[in-house]
Amino acid sequence: MLLVHPLDGDGTQVQRYALKDLTLPEAWSSNHRQPRMIVDLNDGGNLEILDPAQWQRALDQSGYLPGLAQRMQTRWPLLLGVAAVALVGLVAFYKYGTPWAATQLTRFIPLQWELSISDTALSQMDGGMLKPSKVSQARQEQLRAEFQSLLDKTPDALKRYKGYAPNYSLSFRRGMGANAFALPGGAIVVTDGLVETAARKKLPDEAIIGVLAHEIGHVVHRHTTRMVVEQGVLNTGLGLALGDVSSIVATGSTLLTGLAYRRSHEREADCFAMALLGHSSLSSAPMADLLLAMAADRDQRTTEDGDDPTPASAPAPAAEGASKPASAPASTAPSGQQENDEDSKGESAWTSLLSTHPDTVARAQELRAGKAEHCQRLP
């Protein structure tokens, strides 16, 4: 409490101010105080302090505690401490909070939303980079039957979201090289290139079934939906934390998040595939060979998109060559399976979004072994 005895009048008119109602000048250094200071009484009056040191002693004796901002300004260890806590908080929010929140929120996203998004996405792709499949109906039905049998064998323990019953379908398209992808809600698309690559490498159907198991894993874990929700959580959270600069930070972190989390999603889908294949008494090793062949196919297509002068008959210069074991079937893919009527410009974004991650070699090794250490942490 500050008691002010005005000099005019008879001296009995004491004015009382609670310290919390006063605006005290903020100090920037506890050693170098201002030669004089003004206290705003917030009732239209000011108090001019002629002896700031004495004022400070009186304040200290009263037990008055300056606000956090001023304490930070006068004590740099505290400032660093608060900055460190804020940084750790932001990083933790980004790394753990966002995916956790997205995983929880995804429970409330209806299947119908996923299906309508997927329908729109697939019809857009059908009008562009994807063409009707040339795989024979008999072969399609054969793979569909194996796909259905895999679904029927999926144990409840592998289902990530209780009560989530996706509307599974397997369709075939030409385009995008050797690829497969899952749309939210259960639509899985396999390209002719993938079926042809498996045939050319003389891989058993287990290879394609393995890729299908991996794609079912993406659907079961609702990875695409979680990624979309994550971006929303991240942008909202950063907006609350950082105010006006959020849009800049959010844009950058959106890109980073997309890349970082997709890798964890691939690993999660691989773990799911290994568990499901193991449960169905199938081997995940042929899938490893197919993944490597798909990666080689993509490298080659990337090179061709970039107008590389390398003749098509030469072995594809493997971008991942440095990290690949010599035995990997990386540079042997002929260019015969390339679709020559594709719109390669609009394709690149989708291809990078949907295709396998560059750490294909590490994944292939895990699939050959049929197990991976990181899988044990999964439910």
Nearest approach, Cβ of residue 120 and Zn ion (Å): 21
* Cα three-residue angle 355-356-362, rounded to 5 degrees: 170
Q: Which of residues 317-376 bind Zn ion (CB under 5 A)?
A: none
Tell me how far, at minimum, the Cβ of 231 lies from Zn ion, in Å. 19
Token look-up 């390398």 returns 310
Find the shortest distance in angstroms from Cβ 144 to Zn ion. Answer: 20
Among residues 265 and 301, whose Cβ is nearest to Zn ion?
A: 265
Quick note: the x/- pattern for Zn ion over 286-315, rule CB under 5 A, is: ------------------------------
Residue pointed to by tokens 């287990």: 206
Q: Is the CB of residue 337 less than 8 Å from the CB of residue 178?
A: yes
Cβ closer to Zn ion: 24 or 221?
Answer: 221
Q: Which is nearer to Zn ion, 73 or 103 (CB)?
A: 103
Q: Are strands 180-182 and 131-132 parallel, antiparallel or unpaired?
A: unpaired
Taking the complex as a whole, the smallest distance from the CB of residue 287 to Zn ion amounts, in Å, to: 11
Tell the residue number behind the tokens 């690949």, with chain if given: 324
DSSP one-letter string for 100-125: HHHHHHHTTS-HHHHHHHHHHHHHHH
Q: With respect to Zn ion, which residue has the nearer C-beta, 101 or 212?
A: 212
Q: What is the closest distance, in whole angstroms, from the C-beta atom of residue 205 to Zn ion in the complex?
A: 19
- Cα torsion at 293, 297, 299, 301 (round to 10°)? 180
- 252-291: contacts with Zn ion (CB under 5 A): 266, 269
The least distance separating Zn ion from the CB of residue 80, rounded to whole angstroms, comes to: 42
Q: Residue 246 or residue 360: which is nearer to Zn ion going by CB?
A: 360
**Percentages helix, strand, coil for the chain, rounded to the nearest 5?**
60, 10, 35
Please give the DSSP secondary-structure letter assigned to residue 95: I
Which residue, 182 or 316, has its beta carbon nearer to Zn ion?
Answer: 182
Site residues, Zn ion (CB under 5 A): 266, 269
